[in-house]
Amino acid sequence: MRIALLTYSTRPRGGVVATLALAEALARAGASVDLWTLARGGDTGFFRPVDPAVGVHAVPFGDREGESLGPRVLRSIATLRAAFERTRAERGYDIVHAQDCISANAAAPCLRTVHHLDTFTTPELAACHEKALREPLAHLCVSAAVAAELRAGWGITATVIPNGVDAARFRAAAGPDQEAAGRRAAWRARLGRYVLAVGGIEPRKGTLDLVEAFALLQRDPGAADRAPLRLVVAGGETLFDYRDYRAAVDRRAAELGVAPRVLGPVGHEDLPSLVAAAAAFAFPSTREGFGLAALEALAAGVPVVASDLPVLREVFSGSVRFAAGRPALATALADALDRDDPELRTAGQALAAGHSWDTAAAAHLAFYRARPAG
């Protein structure tokens, strides 16, 4: 089976991480897989090496000074479409599978995975999002909660195939061997004891809620008995401009006396040890499709505090501490920091171990065979 998987970026966002892992698992299962993407800002390939069994087509996409989001979205679609259409017929793909609204617009007709649903105010992006939901030949979702949203809002029935996770990589980062212990020690020497959030500073990741909750945590009665604690935020590659939100987060953090350490994107080889060295992992998102970063933290045995969202209840029930609202988030973080819960940790590691990319790839291949269009 000849498969084209398309994504909008080479950089480490959840959907991109999932697309790479799925491509490699499909190749291990015997499929012929090509990855297509826009290579922004001078990138020549993805943020990590890709299995040589997978073909990579990184389409150059340069920055334009002063370009606003709407024109950038339209140019993204046109650039990816032009490159893809030049070789689509030549390669004779049996399946064309887009992973986001930009690639779905560029590659139509295609199959589409809806990782999560958004509400956009930029007209070009809103139109891109709507068209990429209504026009695909068939739909996949990574959780039943997102599939229910898609059915309720658009009358579209999607097949649910959960993500996998590279659990072994994060479990090894938490292991007892000298190299893993040294990597964790290096992060702790640099950052101290820390609560980690991954995904950057943006509204959907609930960063402002986390800053408010961290301030409450610092003032709670148990704070004096804890070792000094820092809030660390990693990641944050995005197509969108969140400067105003980031400025609001900075202002509020300064008012509250919170000084988050913002690392930006962390290298693929360094991320597992950063996660494994954390005292707790905060996942206060306001909207998610699955929660891959939280599953990676569970694989490393790190306690996770997550927003009480239906999708996160679906994926993580019995393995994380849930919190609704800032005071509850602070309380749950305090509990994660102050009380070891072996049962919760064991449940989390078992959950992560049960999410295999090879299983996901097998389900995708069955879906493709049942719908051999696009």
The string of pLDDT tens digits covering residues 103-160 is: 999 999 999 999 999 888 889 999 999 999 999 999 999 999 999 999 999 999 999 9
Q: Which of 37-41, 172-176, 301-305, 327-331 has the lowest mean pLDDT?
A: 37-41
The three-state secondary structure class of 160 is: strand
Residue 150 sits in the same domain as residue 11: yes
For β-strands 2-6 and 321-323, DSSP reports them as: unpaired
- The whole-angstrom separation of Cα 136 and Cα 138 is 5
Domain count for the chain, please give it: 2
Q: Which of 8-12, 45-49, 210-214, 236-240 has the lowest mean pLDDT?
A: 236-240
Burial of residue 338 (number of CB atoms within 10 Å: 0-12, 13-18, 19+)? exposed
Residue pair 58/37 in contact (Cβ under 8 Å)? The answer is yes
pLDDT tens, residue by residue, 166-198? 999 999 999 999 999 999 999 999 999 999 999
Instruction: Report whether pLDDT(329) > 90.
Output: yes
CATH number of the domain at 198, please: 3.40.50.2000
Q: Which residues contact 145 (CB under 8 A, 6 or more apart)?
A: 309, 310, 311, 314
Domain containing residue 73: 2-164+356-370
Residue 186 sits in the same domain as residue 159: no
- In terms of Cα–Cα distance, which of 106, 279, 305 is closest to 194? 279
Instruction: Report whether pLDDT(374) > 60.
Output: no
Residue 155 sits in the same domain as residue 179: no
Which residue type is seen at 332?
A: A
Residue 31 sits in the same domain as residue 111: yes
Task: Kindly state the average pLDDT of the residues 88-100.
Answer: 95
Residue 342 sits in the same domain as residue 203: yes
Residue 178 sits in the same domain as residue 215: yes
Eight-class DSSP state of 223 = G
Quick one: CA torsion of 270, 271, 273, 275, rounded to 10 degrees? Answer: 160
pLDDT tens, residue by residue, 245-296? 899 999 999 999 999 999 999 999 999 999 999 999 999 999 999 999 999 9
- The whole-angstrom separation of Cα 344 and Cα 290 is 19
Residue 144 sits in the same domain as residue 267: no
Q: What is the pTM of this model?
A: 0.94
Residue 116 sits in the same domain as residue 79: yes
**pLDDT value at position 251?**
96
pLDDT tens, residue by residue, 191-250? 999 999 999 899 999 999 999 999 999 988 777 778 899 999 998 766 666 788 899 999
Omega before 109 within 30 of 0, i.e. cis: yes
